[in-house]
Amino acid sequence: MGMLKKEDAMQFQKIHGQLLRKHHLFSALSDSDMTTLMRGTRVLSVGKGEFLFQQNEEARHFYFVVSGCMKLFRTLPDGTEKIIELVPSNQTFAEALMFNAQMMYPVSAQAVDSSELFSFSNIDYMTLLKSSPDLSLVLLGDLSRRLRMRLSEIEVLSLKNSTHRVVRYLMTQIVDSDSEYPQFDLPVAKRLIAGQLAIQPETFSRIVHRLKEEGVIDMKGKEVTVLDRKALANYE
Amino acid sequence: MGMLKKEDAMQFQKIHGQLLRKHHLFSALSDSDMTTLMRGTRVLSVGKGEFLFQQNEEARHFYFVVSGCMKLFRTLPDGTEKIIELVPSNQTFAEALMFNAQMMYPVSAQAVDSSELFSFSNIDYMTLLKSSPDLSLVLLGDLSRRLRMRLSEIEVLSLKNSTHRVVRYLMTQIVDSDSEYPQFDLPVAKRLIAGQLAIQPETFSRIVHRLKEEGVIDMKGKEVTVLDRKALANYE
DNA sequence: TTCCCCTCTTGATAATCATCAATTGGATTT
DNA sequence: AAATCCAATTGATGATTATCAAGAGGGGAA
């Protein structure tokens, strides 16, 4: 993990700062506030497989993914890891921790692909928050949304069998809601998806095999085509 | 479900309003703000088994449990219910929804025991929030804490086998952290606990049986005694 | 008290899933 | 192109857990 050289970093910020403004955590900021905040910002480059932070480290920063993909996970007592979230580009993470003093990261963060990140100081952002009630409301909305996301994750993990979990996962990946034969790419490696669903990679593979056999979906590598939307929905 | 008669309700508010101030969502309010907020407050009495609201109803209020116990759950596609949270007295629930316009309750709320509740208008509380940045920060801290609670729930559901889940649950119930033989009461019926852990009541029963056989714990009805703390911890 | 209802328990069986092992396939490096 | 590495697949097996069924216990109502 490394920081870019200063001139490169500034160039990088200039380009991607605009992108940042589109994110709801920063869109409510005035230009001057944004400038202030960006002064404390670092640009980080994290190589594939590298760690950004470890579980139980003190949380002083939160992050925005410019490019790549980060994996947030907890290490379970038996040593295996449980993936909590896969954070794609243009999303923030670990911003929920700044409101409790002396907070530790409850997860570890590792780069799934080589990634570029903005890092923000919790203290700086808190200062902005105190002077801008509107920003607080935005952030409250953000956390509230995350809470509901976790809720549906808990629901998935409570589904009776693994097939239901896989089907539910596939359903959430369908963005093109109109098409009769929706298509999409799996965002990450299959073993990571299996991890998120708390099933073994082998089980995931077998379930996909069965769904293909039944003509419900097709899958070649990461390319997924839903062949029978109703049948897929009816698994639930 | 019913409201109390006006004079009874006022009496009730007077007594329990103080209790309310101890809750962190209300402790940061000025006296005058508190008075304003309480004007829109209703006192509700919900009989055992009665519903307060259903999943997908529009969320206009949040609640504080004065006495009793509320169950928040989602109905899964197969018709079974997944318990998301059991809310004991002196706690609030459904307050995270007010920050997103036109929000629906993502869960249903039912009384486990006959319960008495304060109901608060989301709009009124939002008004207070906009005028009090401090209050926003308190609330942000609250949501952040809830987010972490969900995280550990997700972790529990990801634990390899049911024994681990039960053991983990028992560990969290130990409050008397010093005692060599900690004792506590199960807060709700065993089938509800099983539901929270996403296992069948039968499985829960069998696991407890085994733990008793091994001399790790004792359980008579809802009374639990931990006999071998180390052994219990080592299951994890 | 007796009855009734519901929870909890216990047993038997079937379904589901994890694990171990071996192989295939794809991508990257040398 | 060959070698290498890791992900993905497939098969065989055993462990775990759900399901179905029946009985035991406990608290409230008549």
Nearest protein residue by Cα to C1' of nucleotide C18: A200
Which of B154, B164, B166, B197 to mutate to test binding with chain A, by most A CBs within 10 Å of its CB? B154
Rounded Cα distance between B184 and A78, Å, is 27
Residues of chain B with pLDDT under 50: none
Give the model's confidence band at A78: pLDDT under 50 very low, under 70 low, under 90 confident, else very high.
Answer: confident
pLDDT band of residue A13 (cuts 50, 70, 90) is low
pLDDT at B160: 81
- pLDDT for position B51: 93
- Chain B residue nearest residue A153, CA to CA: B154
| Listed residue (A53, A43, A89, A55) closest to A69, CA to CA | A89
Cα A203 off chain centre by: 24
Nearest to B46 by CA among B93, B1, B98: B1
CB B159 within 7 Å, strand C: no
A55: Cβ under 7 Å from strand C?
no
Q: Is A198's CB less than 7 Å from nucleic acid strand C?
A: yes
- Retrieve residue A3's tokens: 């920081």
CA-CA distance, A181 to A185, in Å (whole number)?
13
**Per-residue model confidence as pLDDT tens digits over A117-171:** 999 999 999 998 888 888 888 889 989 999 999 998 999 999 989 999 999 999 9
Distance in angstroms (rounded) separating the CA atoms of residues B3 and B42: 7
Mean per-residue pLDDT, A95-122: 91
Which pLDDT value is given to residue B32?
87
Q: Do B82 and A158 touch (CB under 8 A)?
A: yes
Closest CA to A227 of A161, A174, A191: A174
Residue B177: predicted pLDDT: 74
Closest among B168, B232, B230, B222 to B199, alpha carbons compared: B168
Q: Which residues of A touch B74 (CB under 8 A)?
A: 151, 155
B48 Cβ contacts chain C strand, under 7 Å? no
Q: Are the Cβ atoms of A160 and B106 closer than 8 angstroms?
A: no
Helices (H), chain B: 6-21, 24-27, 31-39, 122-131, 133-158, 162-173, 190-196, 201-213, 229-234
Distance from B195 to chain A by nearest Cα, in Å?
A: 9
Question: From the Cβ of A202, is strand C under 7 Å away?
Answer: yes
- Checking if the pLDDT of A230 tops 60, the result is yes
Facing residue for B82 by CB, picked from A96, A150, A155: A155
Please answer yes or no on whether A133 and B136 come within 8 Å at the CB atom: yes
* Contacts of A151 by beta carbon, 8 Å cutoff, 6+ apart: B74, B84, B106, B107, B150
Q: What's the pLDDT score for residue B213?
A: 94
| pLDDT value for B217 | 96
Predicted pLDDT at B107: 94
pLDDT of residue A184: 95
Residues of B with CB under 8 A from a CB of A: 74, 76-78, 80, 82, 84, 96-100, 106-107, 129-133, 136-137, 139-141, 143-148, 150-151, 153-155, 157-160, 164, 198, 236
Q: In this complex, which residue's CA is closest to the C1' atom of nucleotide C20?
A: A202
- B109–chain A nearest CA distance, Å: 15
The pLDDT value recorded for residue A10 is 66
Residue B183 has a pLDDT of 93
B63: exposed, middle or buried (Cβ count in 10 Å: 0-12, 13-18, 19+): buried
Identify the three-state secondary structure at position A217.
Answer: strand
Q: What band does A17 get if pLDDT is binned at 50, 70 and 90?
A: low
Q: Could you count the other beta carbons within 10 Å of the beta carbon of residue A91? A: 15
What's residue B94's pLDDT?
A: 94
Q: Of the candidates B145, B146, B127, which has an alpha carbon nearest to the alpha carbon of residue B135? A: B127
Phi, psi dihedrals of residue A111, rounded to the nearest 5°: -80, 125
Integer Cα distance of B39 and A158 in angstroms:
41
Distance A69 CA to C27 C1' (A): 20
CB atoms within 10 A of CB B47: 12
Strand D lies under 7 A from the Cβ of residue A205: yes
* Closest CA in chain A for residue B155: A82
pLDDT(A9) > 70: no
Structure-token pair, residue A14: 């200039």
Contact yes or no for B77 and A236 at CB 8 A: yes
d(CA A163, CA A8): 48
Looking at residue A194, its pLDDT comes to 96
Residue A160 to residue B78, Cβ atoms within 8 A: yes
pLDDT in tens, A165-195: 999 999 999 987 788 899 999 999 999 999 9
The fraction of chain A above a pLDDT of 70, given in percent, is 92
Angle, CA B64 vertex, CA B58 and CA B70 arms, to 5°: 80
Q: Tell me the chain B residues in contact with residue A82 when contact means C-beta distances shorter than 8 Å.
A: 154-155, 158
pTM of the model: 0.84
**Of A87-96, A101-110, A205-214, B48-57, which has the strongest mean pLDDT?**
A205-214
- What Å value separates CA B49 and C1' D30? 22
What pLDDT was estimated at residue A19?
Answer: 81
Task: Say if residues B109 and B119 touch (Cβ distance below 8 Å).
Answer: no
- Mean pLDDT, residues A78-85: 85
DSSP B111-151: EEEEEEEEEEEHHHHHHHHHH-HHHHHHHHHHHHHHHHHHH
Does nucleic acid strand D have an atom less than 7 angstroms from the CB of B133?
no
Q: How many CB atoms lie within 10 A of CB B6?
A: 9
Q: Which residues of B touch A98 (CB under 8 A)?
A: 144
